[in-house]
Each structure stands twice: as C-alpha cells, then as structure tokens.
C-alpha cells in the first residue's frame, strides 16, 4: 500500500492564539477517508493538535498532501521542500483556500495544486497523476456521498476535548472580506439530517463544535435538525457559528437551547452601520441588539466577533466597540483586524489601491495590521485592537465579575432562585485566560509593533514635509 501523509501546518509561534486552535479542518478528514477507502495507507497530522512541528524524520511516504490557510501557507511550503528533500521520488499535492486563490504561487513548491473542492479528483490524481499541474476541482452537486470522517486517521485525535462536525458548505451571503463564498459558493449545500445524526452518534467528547459557516441558514432544515438532536438526548453540549438573522425566529432559538446549544459564535463585525454596509454584511446594529437579547434570553452564551479597520472606521471605533460589548454583557469577544485575504473582494481592492504593507502570509491571521487603513495608521489600528482586548478582559473587570458571581450564586441559592447558575464560572475562566493570551501576544510581537511604529513615523515625516512644501 502506498503511504499518504496528510498535513495541516502549524501557525507560526508568534501567533499564541494558535495553541487554542487545535481542532482539525474537516477537509483532510473527508479526503483522508476517501483515500483510505481507495486502498492507500493514510495518516493525518494537524501540527497544532500534535503540539509541535513535524521533524524531517517523520516526513515519510509516497505522497504528501497539504492544506493550509493563508496564515499557515509559508509553513506548508517549508514542509513541501523538506518532504521532497527526504523523499525525492515522492509526489507533493497542495489544496485548500490559499492554494485555490494563489495557484501559481503554491505551484512553485509542489507537484500539483488542487483548486477548490477536491473530493471528486483526489483519488484519481493519486492513482494516475496528471499532465496538468493545476487540477481544478468542482463544487459537489450534493454532499450526500461524503464519507463519515474517520478520526482514527488523525494523530492525537484522542486528545480532542471537542468534536468538530460540518453539516453544510457555502453561505447565502457574500460579505466582501470573506473567502467562504469564493471557495464554496453562495449555494447552501447540506448533509441530510439522518446523516448528521449518524455522525453525532459517534461523538465521544462532552462538546461538539459545528464548523458550518452558517449552521442556521436554512430555517426549516434547522428546525428539523434541532428536533432530531433533542429527541436523541445526546449527552454533549454544542456551539455553532450563526448570523444575527436567525433570531428573527425566537421559537427556533428555543429549540436550539433544548437541543443542547451552549454558545453561539456570531460575526457582529462592527457597531457602526456605515462599516457594516461597507463590509456588505447585510445586518444592522438593531439586528445585533436583537440577537444579543434573544440568545441571552434563552441562556445561550455569545462569543461576539468584531472587525476593526474598515474604510469607515476611525480611532473612535475601539472605545465604542468595547463600550457596546460591556454594556450588552457579551460573554466573550474576539476583536480582529480586517485582513485582506487572497480571493476576497477586499484583497483585490486594497491591493489595487497599493495599500498592502507586505505579503508575509503568516501575519495574515486577523491579529496583525497588514494594510494601510484610510482613517488611521497601521500602528494605531494594531494598538487599538490590543487596547480593546485589554480593556474588555481587564483584571479589574474580571475581579468585579468574580465577586458578583460569588454573591449572585450565594444569594440565589439562599432564596431558591432557579437560575442562580445562569452565568457559568467557565465563562469567567475563559476571560482570565484571554487576558493572559493578549499579554503574551504583545510580548511576542514587539518586533512587529516596532515595524508598524516605523511606518507611522515615516508617514508623519512625509506629512510634515508636504505641509512645509505647501507654505
């Protein structure tokens, strides 16, 4: 049997958030399961889950398959070089979002680039090769024939405390900063509900995360899925990515809670309607407010995700966003910097305007300023994100929350309140960890902050020179 090593590369060490992003992508699991069924010896390695980078001695096999995000693509290229050096007669194939949109770049490092979805082409490519270096996959007409993902192929899968599940591909919306619709289309393709339940019956962990970019896009299907999950009486709780619009259906949110929904991850993106419009988000501040009220009203926690750096943003956006987050008691937040990812409309526009600072891809992770914003310097954008994190997750705020939690639980228990445990201590623990992560990130990225500071100083000198020349 020919050996296939499938690797999802580790993010660079500077991204300390990566240590908490150790769930595997589903693509390698689907493809690996298909390849195994076709008669190959398959091993899948997620370097984040492995906890380290693979060594040269571990890079063995007849084929190396790589999938990467933009921020991990440079590590993927390094793995391709090392694998070829160790196994000169091997074949290296790369796919995934970054390779799909930068085919020529990826093709410099590998034998074949698979663009788009690879399920219909990967087995034939492994068996027969191709006279073309770029293999164009196509969107699957149906997801019904996807194999059940074989987690036994994944090294250290037994160490996962959360099981990832994906029940759909694509998104009906087309936010201009997102690469999902460019990769998977605006058509919303779903697995049959029976198949989803079959997959959930194999879950061995206490928690499930639905990877779908928008789990609840089809309201009728979501109702059916929630009813089936509740009927099964699974022992795990779950979280999912959703949009604010699902809260237009409050009964469905109740069904989500009954089915075990613990937390929703929502791309709020901005507290500015002008910025939301510029991002083609198709939602308003009123939609965000309604979503918070409805989910909290059903005791579902909210992880709110916000983006800084849109063309309508100025420096006031940071304090406004933190104030909004605190006022609305959003359980946890993720403040990110607008990142022009290859393949997106945002990337094409910012690149054409000459506003990209560089193309060092490992910094394209949502945590680093990599372009020139319109109404602030890159340094101000970077520092504003960090200040927002530190204010929301400040130890003073967390201490007050901890004291209030103890008081509320003691009082609630004393007077017999049913919901005295409604604010779980785990949320508070997550906030303390987040505070520590932000502080570590700042220390590990001093050089990048210095780089952005130099750009700011250069911009000031240019502005001063222009002012002097005018007078």
The domain locations on the chain are 3-136, 161-392+424-447
Q: In this structure, what are the phi and psi dihedrals at residue 67, rounded to the nearest 5 degrees?
A: -135, 140
pLDDT at 166 over 50: yes
State how beta strands 207-210 and 237-242 pair: parallel
More confidently predicted of 16 and 23: 23
Q: Which CATH class is domain 3-136?
A: alpha beta
CA atoms within 13 A on the CB side of 132: 11
Q: Which of 143, 116, 177, 119 is closest to 337 using CA atoms?
A: 177
In this predicted structure, what is the pLDDT of residue 406? 57
Read out DSSP for 123-162?
HHHHHH--S-SEEE----S-STTPPPP-GGGBTTGGG-SE
State how beta strands 261-269 and 237-242 pair: parallel
In this predicted structure, what is the pLDDT of residue 447? 94
How many residues are present in the chain?
471
Judge contact between 139 and 118, C-beta under 8 A. no
Query: Hey, do 3-136 and 161-392+424-447 end up sharing a CATH topology, with the first three levels equal?
Result: no
69: Cβ–Cβ under 8 A, 6 or more apart, which residues?
A: 96, 97, 98
353: Cβ–Cβ under 8 A, 6 or more apart, which residues?
A: none
* pLDDT tens-digit map of 340-358: 999 999 999 999 999 999 9
In this predicted structure, what is the pLDDT of residue 410? 47
Cα maximum dimension of the chain: 77
Share of residues in the chain with pLDDT > 90 (%)? 77
Measured distance CA(64)–CA(94) in Å, rounded:
8
Question: CB neighbours (10 Å) of residue 162?
Answer: 16
In this predicted structure, what is the pLDDT of residue 419? 37
Residues in a beta bridge with 163 = 208
Measured distance CA(252)–CA(243) in Å, rounded:
13
Question: CB neighbours (10 Å) of residue 92?
Answer: 20
pLDDT at 459 over 70: no
pLDDT at 130 over 80: yes
**Where does the pLDDT of residue 411 fall: very low under 50, low under 70, confident under 90, or very high at 90 and above?**
very low
* CATH fold for domain 161-392+424-447: TIM Barrel (3.20.20)
CA atoms within 13 A on the CB side of 254: 3
- For the segment 448-462, the average pLDDT, to the nearest whole number, is 78
In this predicted structure, what is the pLDDT of residue 13? 66
- For the segment 410-439, the average pLDDT, to the nearest whole number, is 57
In this predicted structure, what is the pLDDT of residue 439? 83
Q: What is the pTM of this model?
A: 0.90
CA-CA-CA-CA torsion for 191, 192, 198, 203, nearest 10 degrees? 40
In this predicted structure, what is the pLDDT of residue 298? 97
- For the segment 404-431, the average pLDDT, to the nearest whole number, is 50
Measured distance CA(10)–CA(18) in Å, rounded:
8
* pLDDT tens-digit map of 24-55: 999 999 999 999 999 999 999 999 999 899 99
Judging by beta carbons within 10 Å of its beta carbon (0-12, 13-18, 19+), is residue 267 exposed, middle or buried?
buried
Output DSSP code: residue 469: H
Supply the angle between the helices 395-415 and 425-444 in degrees, to the nearest 10: 170
Measured distance CA(153)–CA(28) in Å, rounded:
10
């Amino acid at each position: 049997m020919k050996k296939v090593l499938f690797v999802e590369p580790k993010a660079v060490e500077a991204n300390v958030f990566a240590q908490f992003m150790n769930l595997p992508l589903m693509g390698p699991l689907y493809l690996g399961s298909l390849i195994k069924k076709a008669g190959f010896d398959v091993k899948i390695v997620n370097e984040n889950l492995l906890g380290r980078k693979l060594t040269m001695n571990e890079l063995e096999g007849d084929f190396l398959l790589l999938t990467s995000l933009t921020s991990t693509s440079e590590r993927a290229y390094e793995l391709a070089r090392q694998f070829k050096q160790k196994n000169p007669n091997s074949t290296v194939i790369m796919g995934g979002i970054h390779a799909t949109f930068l085919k020529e770049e990826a093709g410099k490092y590998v034998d074949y680039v698979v663009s788009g979805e690879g399920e219909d082409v990967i087995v034939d490519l492994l068996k027969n090769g191709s006279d073309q270096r770029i293999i164009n996959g196509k969107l699957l007409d149906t997801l019904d024939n996807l194999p059940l993902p074989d987690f036994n192929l994944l090294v250290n899968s037994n160490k996962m405390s959360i099981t990832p599940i994906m029940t759909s591909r694509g998104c009906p919306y087309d936010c201009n900063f997102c690469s999902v619709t460019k990769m998977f289309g605006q058509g919303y393709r779903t697995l049959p509900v029976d198949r989803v339940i079959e997959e959930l019956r194999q879950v061995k962990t206490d928690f499930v995360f639905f990877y779908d970019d928008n789990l609840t896009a089809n309201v009728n299907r979501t109702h059916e899925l929630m009813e089936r999950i509740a009927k099964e009486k699974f022992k795990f709780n779950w979280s999912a990515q959703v949009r604010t619009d699902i809260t237009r259906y409050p009964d469905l949110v109740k069904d989500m809670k009954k089915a075990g929904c613990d937390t929703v991850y929502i791309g709020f993106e901005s507290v500015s309607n002008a910025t939301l419009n510029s991002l083609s988000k198709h939602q308003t501040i009123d939609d965000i407010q309604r979503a918070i009220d409805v989910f909290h009203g059903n005791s579902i926690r909210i992880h709110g995700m916000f983006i800084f750096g849109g063309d309508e943003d100025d420096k006031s956006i940071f304090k406004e966003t933190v104030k909004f987050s605190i006022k609305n008691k959003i359980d946890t937040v993720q403040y990110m910097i607008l990142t022009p990812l290859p393949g997106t409309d945002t990337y094409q526009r910012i690149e054409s305007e000459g506003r990209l600072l560089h193309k060092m891809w490992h910094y394209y992770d949502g945590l680093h300023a990599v372009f020139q914003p319109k109404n602030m310097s890159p340094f101000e954008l970077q520092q504003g994100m960090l200040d927002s994190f530190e204010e929301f997750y400040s130890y003073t705020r967390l201490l007050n929350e901890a004291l209030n939690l103890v008081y509320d639980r003691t009082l609630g228990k004393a007077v017999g309140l049913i919901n005295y445990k409604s604010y779980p201590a785990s949320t508070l623990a997550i906030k303390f960890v987040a505070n520590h992560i932000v502080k570590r990130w700042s220390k590990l990225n001093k050089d990048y902050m210095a780089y952005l500071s130099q750009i700011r100083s250069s911009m000031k000198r240019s502005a001063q020179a222009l002012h002097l020349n005018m007078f």
